[in-house]
Structure 1
Amino acid sequence: MATFQLNYYFAVVQRVLGLLLMIFSTSMLVPAVMGFAYGDGESDAFLIGFAVTLTTGTAAWWPVRHVQRELKVRDGFLVVVLFWMVLSLFGAVPLYLAERPDISVTDAVFESVSGLTTTGATVLVGLDTLPHAVLFWRQLLHWMGGMGIIVLAVAVLPMLGVGGMQLYRAETPGPIKDSKLTPRIRETAKALWYLYVSLTALCALVFWLAGMSAFDAVSHGFSAIATGGFSNHDLSLGHHDNPVIELAAIVAMLVGSISFGMHFTVWRSANPLTYWRDSETRTFLIMVLAATTVCVGVLLLSGTYVNVPEAMVKSMFQVVAIGTTTGFTTTDYSVWPTFLPMLLLLGSFVGGCAGSTTGGMKVVRFILLAKQGTREITRLVHPNAEIPIKMGAKVIPDRVIQAVWGFFAVYVTVFTAMFLVLLAAGLSELTAFSAVAASINNLGPGLGEVSSNMAGLPALAKWVLCLAMLLGRLEVFTLLVILTPAFWRH
């Protein structure tokens, strides 16, 4: 009986995983068409990748296609984790099969994981000479991973007889995941994706009007709204050397780093002041302005820039790019004077708002940590005082505060363990620290030997960083929970 229950349990997960793989396989047809359209090859690699992924998904789904059961919370966690791992492997297939770039399995998986998790760290060089199909696939991985392909599946799977609320809770970033924009989860997912597609299209249009080619505009629109950081050029957005494009990218990255639930609320209320009334969004914007002010002052005083407008644009661009964990660059910020490179890197630990496409620990968690710290200091003076912690007018339950502390502790522990492994692999302290930070925060560029790319890292380090990127994208707990004995106990 126990064996039957276990098989039945996995059959439901297998069915969902098969469906999701079949859905994902169709995305490989887009770069295949790009290869034919531009005539620079590699379409075959994506057609083979499509066939392999579709066949595998069908083989997984067909034997259990008639299994019907509502997904439970545990099912949601397992599907999300398995799907992101499997998705990363299948996303690497066309990259490995392509003749350009000629890369190893390790590098292909690293690039795929980096794309899907919107990290933007790359092991590829000579991007300007790569085929359009490969370049577009990297950007498309960003775009699908930005909002979470699981959320797209949540809008589709109910039509196939599979509920999606559990998937949505496991996938959505942030400490509070039970709120929905609309009464039905399917409508919530559709609302998020309509908004996501609209903002991406608007961003691409602005880039095109600012001077980018149509291909670059769409590609960087994908990357900017997803706060990913992949570019079609080795110099990233610095390739264009266009202040208008830089300003447009700043706005796009800020839009991607604010909760899409907040965007939806503002759209329905038609009142932009709603952004400022939200404590998390307000705190995030204040942090960006404060960091930009510090950068401008240091860069002007050090003589790095003598033109004030240029210093302001460069400072704000890098503050937003690193702070939102996008990772675009217009200049090598790692050589900026004094403490600025480390200040920006540490800012990526905060990231953007919960419910956005950014990485990091999210602004709301740091707000709650600060409020909890203030409460404990007050309790030293007034031991018996009942001091609630509020976000706006809402009292935050102690369970949420405890979860935030637990998340912070696990995040730091995992970071430290990976940092030590990279040191053991032979990396310098700065390179190891920044590589783990750039990966677990889904940032991309680091400092030291990984300031431009991660091609020179040993294979062990790349696999460790792949795990770090997945942990960061799934906010640590989603991945670690399936490793606990309690998760598998019926």
Structure 2
Amino acid sequence: MHILSIVRIVGILVMCFSVAMLAPAFVALIYGDGGGKAFMQSFVISLIVGTTLWWSCHSHKQELRSREGFIIVVAFWVVLGSLASIPFMLFEYPDLTVASSFFEAFSGLTTTGATTIVGLDDLPKAILFYRQLLQWMGGMGIIVLAVAIIPLLGIGGMSLYRAEMSGPMKEQKMRPRIAETAKILWFIYASLTILCALAYYLAGMSPFDAISHSFSTVSIGGFSTHDASIGYFNDSWINLITVVFLWISACNFALHFRAFSEINKGGFFKIYRNDPEFRFFVSIQVILILICSAVMLSHSYFETTWENIEQVIFQSVSISTTTGYTTSDFSAWPSFVPMLLIIASFIGGCAGSVGGGVRVARILVLYLQGKRELKLFVHPNLVYPIKWGKRILDERVIGSIWAFFSAYLLVFIICLLGVIACGVDVFNAFNAVLACINNLGPAMGIVNSNMVEIPDSAKCILTIAMVCGRLEIFTLLALFSPTFWKA
């Protein structure tokens, strides 16, 4: 185990992250409403930590294996989340506890979107921008960004990519070299962000709100610069733009790349049409919207038919993709609708997307496996392989998905019991853990808009749940396996 090489890489990554502190400091300089000093102090502290880690081990440049890649991912997220909490602890307003500061930082980096801050409309622009920036950086995964500069680090990148990316198809590559793949992913990600910001601006948002919300929309994060979230703008065009970009961001980014690479050959729509996960994702979205629309219209919850449908479309997409934007208090809707949407967040986005949850690809494989078991129950000798498009899935892939699903439920139950032990009642504890492990943000009960009423001890558990959800359980659980540490 090349521990010193791992420390060196983490140090370089922390130094790179420290530069991000300068962006909100620049925003504070532009608007002159405070926060600049805290970010400059945070920049210095982060730079010193990163430099110390790197310099103490700068001569160690061994080639890293797969397990070292997993350690780097976990160590970097822990160190990064800890350093990202420093500005929140330095602010006089909002006056956050240490637990709340860590929770807010990890919520941003894991794109969960749960917050412990109220009164967003009165906060300095620098703080608001920083929260959005954390989500944007965490959206695709900072490790994938680091892989793009692997030649500077002197290590192989595939182990990092496997630890960070998600889904049963994560072994597939768009290009032979992982550095090139990471660059392509980030080009798509940055391009979507620019297009989203421009669309928001043309729809009537201020430049600051447009840029800030593009960060949290494309990252499927859900943080907003206003307490009322997207509902603050009360604009149908802004709602539509949000839905479109959430749909795009919840799809596999590798699929976007393949589609655009075929655009000159006339195969753009064919790529999407032939992808089984994309078809399943669209089916889920359509079914959710139809069911929720029928329920809302039957209750005539909003005044007009169009308002009912518009609100349902927005909230269905936002919650089911684990974004967490709101245009109204959806937890006050007829109880069937919010409960259905909360359960749908377990499915989340597609594999290879920035969404949370179990992921559509895994749910599809579990569904196909269930169909096969029913047929085998009737015809025990039937040979019935599970296909992904035209390719037969390896039984090991199917087994690993069942193992992941079991681990997901186990971690959920453990976190649920832990939050209950901290004094939170069962209903609110269930919603809080669900919102964090699915990287969703809002849920029902006392966590329908923020986590202010959750005790600090429970926030510590929920912070762990957010990281588990973001790193997809196994990356963390692997570190607790004795086999992992054997030479």
> What range is the shorter-chain TM-score in?
over 0.9
Superposed, 1:12-411 pairs within 5 Å as 12-270=5-263, 271-411=268-408
Q: How far has the Cα of 1:160 moved from its partner?
A: 3.0
For the residues of structure 1 that align with 2:207 and 2:275, how far apart are their CA atoms?
Answer: 36
Superposition TM-score, scaled by structure 1 size: 0.97
Q: How far has the Cα of 1:276 moved from its partner?
A: 2.2
Q: How far has the Cα of 1:165 moved from its partner?
A: 1.1
Gap regions ≥5 residues in structure 2: none
For the residues of structure 1 that align with 2:169 and 2:482, how far apart are their CA atoms?
Answer: 25
Matched position secondary structure for 2:21: helix
For the residues of structure 1 that align with 2:273 and 2:115, how far apart are their CA atoms?
Answer: 35
Letter matched to residue 284 of structure 1: F
Matched position secondary structure for 2:284: helix
Aligned to 1:3: none
Letter matched to residue 211 of structure 2: V
Match of 1:466 among 460, 463, 466: 463
For the residues of structure 2 that align with 1:104 and 1:427, how far apart are their CA atoms?
Answer: 19
Q: How far has the Cα of 1:220 moved from its partner?
A: 0.4
For the residues of structure 2 that align with 1:70 and 1:176, how far apart are their CA atoms?
Answer: 25
Q: How far has the Cα of 1:175 moved from its partner?
A: 2.2
Give yes or no for contact 1:42–1:99 (8 Å, CA) kept in 2: no
For these two proteins, the number of residue pairs brought into alignment is 483
Matched position secondary structure for 2:116: coil
Q: How far has the Cα of 1:163 moved from its partner?
A: 2.0
Give yes or no for contact 1:322–1:345 (8 Å, CA) kept in 2: yes
Give yes or no for contact 1:31–1:46 (8 Å, CA) kept in 2: yes
For the residues of structure 2 that align with 1:305 and 1:239, how far apart are their CA atoms?
Answer: 17
C-alpha distance after superposition, 1:316-342 (max 9, x if no partner): 100000000000000111011131111
Superposed, 1:445-464 pairs within 5 Å as 445-464=442-461
Q: How far has the Cα of 1:69 moved from its partner?
A: 1.6
Superposition TM-score, scaled by structure 2 size: 0.98
Give yes or no for contact 2:15–2:46 (8 Å, CA) kept in 1: yes
Give yes or no for contact 1:300–1:306 (8 Å, CA) kept in 2: no
Give yes or no for contact 1:120–1:442 (8 Å, CA) kept in 2: yes
Aligned to 1:437: 434
Letter matched to residue 110 of structure 1: F
Gap regions ≥5 residues in structure 1: 1-5
Q: RMSD of the alignment, in Å?
A: 0.9
1:477 to 2:474 alignment: yes
Q: How far has the Cα of 1:351 moved from its partner?
A: 0.2
* Structure 1 outlier segments of 4+, above 3 Å: none
**Which has the higher mean CA deviation after the structures are superposed, 384-393 or 21-30?**
384-393
> What's the % identity of the aligned pairs?
48
For the residues of structure 2 that align with 1:50 and 1:238, how far apart are their CA atoms?
Answer: 34
C-alpha distance after superposition, 1:374-395 (max 9, x if no partner): 1111112222222110011111
Letter matched to residue 394 of structure 2: P
Q: How far has the Cα of 1:90 moved from its partner?
A: 0.3
Q: How far has the Cα of 1:419 moved from its partner?
A: 1.1
Letter matched to residue 12 of structure 1: S
1:412 to 2:405 alignment: no
For the residues of structure 2 that align with 1:232 and 1:435, how far apart are their CA atoms?
Answer: 22
Give yes or no for contact 2:300–2:308 (8 Å, CA) kept in 1: no
Q: How far has the Cα of 1:273 moved from its partner?
A: 3.5
Q: How far has the Cα of 1:36 moved from its partner?
A: 0.7
